[in-house]
Amino acid sequence: MAQEQIHRHNVGTLLRHVHLGGSMSRAELAERMGLNRSTIMALTAELSAAGLVREEPPTGSFGSAGRPSLVVRVRPNWAYVLAFDVAVDRLVAARVGLGGAVLDRREAVRARAGADLDHVVEVLARFGRQLHEAAPADSVCVGIGASYCGMIRPGDGMVRFGPDMGWVDQAFGAELSRRLGLGIPVPVGNEAHLGALAEQHRGAGVGLQNLLYLHGDVGVGGGIIVGGKLLDGDGGYGCELGHMVVNPYNGRPCGCGSHGCLEAEVGERALLDAAGRPAETWGRDALRAVVDDADRGDETAREALRRIGDWLGIGVANLINLFNPGMVIFGGMLRDVYPGAAPQVRHRIATNVLPVARERVRLRTSALGDDSTLVGAAELGFADLMADPLATLAGTKASA
């Protein structure tokens, strides 16, 4: 590895530490990065000169004896990304500052079917331009990221398969970039992949190297962190835990054409059917109504959650055997469903998972709630800056 490469890596790593971890003393940075303090001082000076970080007294240091040692923190409200989220029921755009704060946002309810590429991109690009124009005059957009509820080709943001919109091979990332007109490419990630990364960086799973994130909406997507990194597989299409067949006999038909997939047995329609709701009901409100009824003692609703919980438990137990994760996180609509289904899930884990593989696993609901995918999209937008802060910033200024 060449000297210059290492230097760039270290600059980026320091920025990532304060971006994700908040303000930090130089001593703490030296320890975390395994570098000496003079190197940390030089790296901090470079990032400070570039306008990305500041050295300041720690908050709450009033009145302490002597001069408090300075902490390094990101400069707020200057460098930012635009983050977009195409979810099954809404379109969201946000301006997210270095450090992760959502500074501004726009949101629209999305009709479930019939949204073509043109419509989705038009709404998001309008939101994006509004957010960009409303940003402070001296602030700088350092990247863009988008989350999409479907299978995405890495590299060019092509939607290979968007089941609920019926999209096949739609150039979503390229088209959104073109309509935004900012001269910045738009990387796109699968919503559950990004949700998993968001929970690992800023949510329930901070610091964990191995975690499973299950994202429920109409179906069930997955994001799986293995050894600190998102499992992407050979083409970027891994983590499709929703299409694990858990019920090979008499399984419910799945949107993928198969039967008995996890998402067919625990997705929105499965729960509503099990609770005896009419075929024309759908959406988060309908799901929550089942959960509320169960909480109020309605036996049909309770039985529906137990039934979903049993299939969910089989799936989660299989995944724990495979991944030996430190944590399983339930996100999206599974946040609402999980509490009523937890006894069955725990029972299946106790029955089906080898003892040594479940010794330390914890079960949690998403800490970032419905914003996990948006937060993940923002981190996608920050990726270039974290990899090489100074070159990315220089490129941004050149294109502005």
Residues of this chain that bind its own copies (CB under 8 A): 1, 6, 9-10, 34, 151, 160-161, 208-210, 222, 224, 226-227, 229, 231-241, 243-249, 256-258, 261, 314, 317-319, 321-326, 351-357, 359-361
Q: How far is the CB of 224 from its own copies (least distance, A)?
A: 7
**Residue 103 burial by Cβ neighbours in a 10 Å radius (0-12, 13-18, 19+):** middle
Measured from the CB atom, the residue of 60 and 248 that comes closer to its own copies is 248
- Which residues are CB-neighbours of 128 under 8 A, at least 6 positions away? 82, 84, 93, 144, 176, 180, 182
Measured from the CB atom, the residue of 87 and 316 that comes closer to its own copies is 316
| C-alpha–C-alpha distance, residues 107 and 367, integer Å | 21
Q: How far is the CB of 225 from its own copies (least distance, A)?
A: 10
Phi, psi (degrees; rounded to nearest 5) at 5: -60, -45
Q: How far is the CB of 297 from its own copies (least distance, A)?
A: 29
Query: Contact 211/326 with Cβ under 8 angstroms?
Result: yes
Measured from the CB atom, the residue of 37 and 90 that comes closer to its own copies is 37
Amino acid type, 10: N
Measured from the CB atom, the residue of 327 and 385 that comes closer to its own copies is 327
Strand arrangement, sheet containing 90-97: 102-109, 90-97, 79-86, 140-148, 188-190
Measured from the CB atom, the residue of 290 and 329 that comes closer to its own copies is 329
| C-alpha–C-alpha distance, residues 102 and 366, integer Å | 18
Q: How far is the CB of 273 from its own copies (least distance, A)?
A: 19
Q: How far is the CB of 264 from its own copies (least distance, A)?
A: 11
Query: Contact 144/184 with Cβ under 8 angstroms?
Result: yes
Q: How far is the CB of 353 from its own copies (least distance, A)?
A: 7
Measured from the CB atom, the residue of 174 and 208 that comes closer to its own copies is 208
